[in-house]
Amino acid sequence: MGRNDSAFWLPRRCLREPIPEIADAQALLDEAANAHLSGKRARAAALIAAANIPIIRDWTESIWGRHNASVLRIRKVPDAPPIQPVALRPIPRHPNALLKRRLIGRDGYHCRFCGIPVIDSSIRVLLRTEYPDALCWGTKNFDQHAAFQCMWLQYDHVLPNGRGGESTFENMVVTCAPCNFGRMERTLEEVGLLAPQPPTPSPSKWDGLARLNRRVKGLESETN
């Protein structure tokens, strides 16, 4: 299938279909969290390091890196909402804590576009502090842990904020970083995406490793 094939331009559910290695990394990080909570630090470190799978980085880069026309299929859309000056864009730009909790309650810890599991940045910070040698997170993309980079939880606007979209429950969804940063301020129509997938009918067992944060908060309560 190529750019001259009519099927190439048909609407899709996501910019690029997930690869199996993302599920492999999910399983490794889930086991790492359990090992950490059990006090098996060496095991947790080894699992976190094992989840830094190079092909996952390649997948992420193909979506949010230098424009790959086979992935980011941009087209002109008549009468699309114009890009607004920053001063005229709806505020607040980002959801508050209450709205974030509501979005997680509805969407769970999965991207509403491609469906991959996601992890809040606070978990990455926690594990980076505990296992700095296993969880790399530098200032450049290629110096960051591939799985945590790919599975980085975002709160994305369906109609981009820069096109007039408000930070409301109806206009925001949980996404992964590649889906969010790949599309940026483009509308769904401009990149040929369908509306976000409905939330999973049955709750997923994947908790985004949020149990690690709950454990920390519990320990803090015990010491206060």
Beta bridge partners of 155: 174
**pLDDT class of 202 with cuts at 50, 70, 90:** low
Q: Which residue has the higher pLDDT, 216 or 82?
A: 82
Query: What is the biggest distance separating any 2 CA atoms in the chain, rounded to whole angstroms?
Result: 65
Predicted pLDDT at 1: 57
| Residue pair 95/168 in contact by the 8 Å Cβ criterion | no
pLDDT of 6 > 90? The answer is no
| Model pTM score | 0.92
**pLDDT class of 224 with cuts at 50, 70, 90:** very low
pLDDT of 19 > 70? The answer is yes
Predicted pLDDT at 218: 59
Buried/exposed code over 47-75 (b: 16+ C-beta within 10 A; e: otherwise): bbbbbbbeebbebbbbbbbeeeeebbbee
Average pLDDT over residues 51-71: 95
Burial of 101 (0-12, 13-18, 19+ CB in 10 A): exposed
Please give the backbone phi and psi of residue 158, each rounded to the nearest 5 degrees, phi first. Answer: -65, -55
